[in-house]
């Protein structure tokens, strides 16, 4: 939470997501493994999107310090809206891809013979903390007054290649969030065979 470097903050959120994957694996049940596998995919989508956002910000403002940003939404509304969706997906907002993976992992942890309620409660605090520091980053970068205007108005426009890079990310965020059953069906056979090894 005290981190002021946007790239490092995204890196810490990446580690947090992978920590959830470990929880799902060590639940040693079907729900936990399904959630862990789905969360690995979610991690690639959401965290990849966050790093893309940080890269585009750095390319324009040449700084990674949150204190140097502010008011980006006012001058780049499309970029701000895309960044909000990706940030919310990383926080695990219901209806977006991050929620179903984290929720399934927590269900698997709660029903696990090895983890249980106390561990699940502790893991849930991690979800809350992740939301807090990602909201802090979004507020500092996109809200408020613009602190460092660019020298050219063209810098505020997303190029076609930048827009194209976001399209598959946004599609996957909503698809996995709204229709997770499609992805669960893909995982069923593999997960069941792995769980069978645990119960032998």
What is the pLDDT at residue 1? Answer: 53
Where along the chain do its domains lie? 6-192
Cβ count near 162 (within 10 Å): 16
Q: Exposed (0-12), middle (13-18) or buried (19+): which is 25, by Cβ within 10 Å?
A: middle
Token pair listed for 81: 């809206």
The Cβ of residue 44 has, within 10 Å, a number of other Cβ atoms equal to: 14
Rounded to two decimals, the pTM is 0.90
Per-residue pLDDT of the chain (200 residues; tens, 9 = 90+): 567 889 988 988 888 888 889 999 988 888 899 999 999 999 999 999 999 999 999 999 988 898 889 889 999 999 999 999 999 999 989 999 999 999 999 999 998 888 888 888 888 888 888 888 899 899 999 998 888 888 888 889 999 999 999 999 999 999 999 999 998 888 887 887 887 777 65
């Amino acid at each position: 939470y005290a981190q002021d470097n946007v790239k490092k903050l995204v890196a810490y959120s990446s580690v947090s997501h992978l920590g959830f994957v470990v929880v799902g694996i060590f639940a040693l049940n079907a729900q936990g493994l399904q959630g862990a596998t789905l969360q690995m995919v979610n991690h690639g989508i959401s965290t990849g999107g966050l790093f893309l956002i940080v890269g585009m910000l750095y390319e324009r403002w040449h700084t990674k310090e949150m204190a140097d940003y502010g008011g980006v939404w006012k001058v780049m509304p499309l970029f701000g809206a895309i960044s909000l969706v990706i940030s919310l997906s990383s926080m695990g907002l219901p209806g977006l891809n991050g929620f179903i993976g984290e929720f399934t992992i927590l269900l698997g942890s709660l029903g696990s013979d090895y983890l249980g309620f106390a561990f699940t409660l502790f893991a849930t605090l991690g979800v809350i903390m992740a939301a807090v520091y990602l909201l802090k980053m979004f507020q500092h970068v996109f809200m408020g007054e613009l602190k460092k205007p660019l020298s050219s108005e063209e810098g505020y426009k997303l190029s076609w290649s930048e827009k194209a890079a976001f399209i598959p990310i946004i599609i996957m965020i909503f698809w996995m969030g709204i229709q997770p059953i499609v992805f669960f069906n893909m995982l069923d056979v593999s997960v069941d065979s792995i769980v069978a090894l645990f119960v032998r």
